[in-house]
Structure 1
Amino acid sequence: MPWGSIELNDGTMIPDIAYGTWKLGNGDVTIGRVKQALSVGFTHIDTAQIYRNEKEAGEALRASGLAREDVYITTKYSGRADIDTSIRNSCEYTMWTCTSYTAPDLAVPDIPTLWAKMEQIKANELAKYESSHESIQTLTQSLTYCRSIGVSNFNVQELTTLLTSAKVKPVVNQILFHPYVLRRQAPIVAFGAQHGIVTEAYSVLIPITRQTGGPLDKPLKEIADRLGAQPEQVLLAWAKKKGVVSVTSSTRKERMEGYLKAGDLELTAEDIAAIDTAGLSRH
């Protein structure tokens, strides 16, 4: 089954693969890369304040000529400035550079903004973090173009604590997710599914981009050879089977096209088990 969309707990739909702008930098080159991703068929762009390329993502979307309803944008609050001002600027800045993700008048507003992109959430910071959640919830009620909010890098305990006080349930939790961290991260995915919180997975391809030579190499190659695919496509198809939204990236058009074709791969239960087992075997 090709890539599609997943329904969120607020009734909106999120495409289940995204082109991420982390490490792309900024400027005209980044605009070109995002525009290329849109041209090959990506319909979900993941950016963030801390990436410093929200403007470029918006410019690329404007230049693409795509209709507003054809593109879904995720951005993240960095926590580096006053929260109300930061979130408002993030939404307005990105929207201003698009023509209604396409138009400056926001005629068909539907831009999801995920709050608080932080690498680590420490226990003694959680109370302050929840206060931020309250502030963003209030803000999004007045910004009709910011429809959904979520969290990033929350573990089960932090999600549990948040759900006891949040007036608005986060729609997603964006986390590190690939087979080598399955033991640690699978419980987060399962908890999210139990509570209607979709997992967005970043760095799915780490086992073949930065951690080669491990136990995953053999099963990925065997499955890829059998299916006439590439190992990175098999990993993305694995993530799709796990029910997560994959956030991936490349500067090469042929790789982008390959990522999209990964949605057509049909992995068997045995394939999934082999990948899981190999991932769990690495300590």
Structure 2
Amino acid sequence: MTFGTVTLNDGNTMPTIAYGTGSKWKWKSVVEFVATAIDCGFSHIDTAQQYQTEPDVGQAIRESGLSRSDFFVTTKFGGGEVQEEFNKSLNGLGLKQVDLYLIHFPTPRIVGEKGVAGTWLELEKIRNSGRARSIGVSNFQLSHLETVAEISTVTPAVNQIHLHPYNYSEMKPVLEYCAKHSIVVEAYSSLDPITKFPGGPVDVPLAAAAARRGASMVQALFLWVHAKGVVIVTTSSTRKHMEEYLAVGDLEPLSDAEVAAIDEAGKGGPPVATAAMLARLRLRHLRRARTELSVVVLGLLLLGLWKLQVFGRSGMRCI
């Protein structure tokens, strides 16, 4: 099983793993990281208006020495006037066309007065103009997808969502709707069970699947995503991890039994104890930081009083 492409409902093809330049990198230069990802073999690069990384992505693509046709570039609308903001995205990327343009969130802050329906119709205009080969949505639930279906002449090609074993049961209706309407699902933050909720019930079947293949738990988790017919959107700042992710394409797929075991383990959601522990650690860290700040402030106040006393007395003697 290699990471190939998936055919979208509009006939275009999309690589089934993407290098994301998301919220983790906001306000940071990602030129070097994207360049490394390209060198490792990533051809699908995911960015967004909100990430502030479009210029860096464009620079890395230009400096790669590869042709534009070697890349699949996704960016997302993050609010404002759709046509104007899309043009800004193109200018930031230094491209005449993107491969996929998404509505980032169906929230009022993003879609504004036009709402989901009006914003989607603006994306249809962009697609019809040829400036975006495909259009889609991100973080859309059933109600949002149904709203688009009522008014659209173009079905979204993609719905990019937050998906991992602990929220799979919750997101299953969305996955089923997308499958029924030939909407390809992309998943971001799929590693949350390992990075945010370690030690949970999903770890056991993941570890077993990984051991059978001489793979890592991260790779086993991406195999689970792939088994669901979902495109992976991931990120890293290190070549080692980028290569680890791409190597998933050469691993034996999970069996039906392995997928079912991971599904079952994830049904209860993330481990409450772990989440509570992380919350306590954050609170403890904040309290410690506040205490340390209070000590510093108190020290400065005492120092100021001491100086006032010393220099005040000296001044009195001089008089």
TM-score, normalised relative to structure 2? 0.79
Which amino acid letter does the alignment assign opposite residue 26 of structure 2? G
In the TM superposition, 1:147-226 aligns within 5 A as 147-226=133-212
Identity of aligned residues (%): 39
Q: Is there any run of 5+ residues in structure 2 with no aligned partner, and where?
A: 271-319
Which ranges of structure 1 fall in alignment gaps of 5 or more residues?
Answer: 97-105
Give the distance between the partners of 2:108 and 2:250, measured in 1 at CA.
36
| Aligned-partner Cα distance in 1 for 2:185–2:199 | 28
CA distance change for structure 1 residues 224 and 271 in 2, over 3 Å: closer, same or farther?
A: same
Shift of 1:95: 3.0
Q: In structure 1, what is the equivalent of residue 316 of structure 2?
A: none
- Specify the alignment match of 2:304 in structure 1: none
Contact preservation (8 Å) 2:43, 2:70: yes
Tell me the amino acid that sits aligned with residue 200 of structure 1: E
Q: Which has the higher contact order (CA 8 A, sep 6+)?
A: 1
Partner of 1:85: 84
Q: Secondary structure at the match of 2:59?
A: helix
Does 2:131 align with 1:132?
Answer: no
Output aligned runs, 1:1-283, within 5 Å: 1-22=1-22, 23-26=24-27, 29-79=29-79, 81-96=80-95, 106=96, 111-118=98-105, 120=107, 128-142=115-129, 144-265=130-251, 266-282=253-269
CA RMSD of aligned residues (A): 2.0
- Aligned equivalents of 1:157 and 1:139: distance in 2? 24
**How many residue pairs are counted as aligned between the two chains?**
267
Contact 2:126 2:132 in 1 (8 A): no
Contact 1:250 1:256 in 2 (8 A): yes
Which of structures 1 and 2 has the bigger CA Rg?
A: 2
| Secondary structure, counterpart of 1:114 in structure 2 | strand
Partner of 1:103: none
Which structure has more helix as a fraction of its residues?
2
Distance 1:126 1:277, change over 3 A: farther
1:41 partner letter: G
Deviations 1:194-245 (Å, cap 9, x if unpaired)? 1011101111111001111210111111111121000010111111111111
Counterpart Cα distance in 2 of 1:76 and 1:282 = 29
